[in-house]
Amino acid sequence: MSITGSIVVFIILWWLVLFIILPRNINSQHEKGNIIEGTDPGAPINPNIVKKLVITTFITSLLFAIIFVLTYFNILNIREVLS
């Protein structure tokens, strides 16, 4: 896998994992009964974005390492599978 291909795979994988992680452990203002005036009742109280970004990067790094090892040792070869 080339450097460019590796970067593209990592970025796509990172965004996929981010969208899986984002809705986890979210409590809305309506659920907690603490609605701040002028905001949407469905807005999260504390979304923990930094924590979720760190978790996303960690999970993506692990998945990317697995994919990289599989392609490096030619265990996973998409070109052979498609032909």
What is the number of domains present in the chain?
1
pTM of this prediction exceeds 0.85? no
Domain that holds residue 49: 3-82
26: left (phi over 0), alpha (psi -120 to 50) or beta: beta
Per-residue confidence in pLDDT tens, the chain, 83 aa: 789 999 999 999 999 999 999 999 888 888 888 888 888 888 888 889 999 999 999 999 999 999 999 999 988 887 787 87
Alpha-carbon gap, residue 65 to 71, rounded angstroms: 10
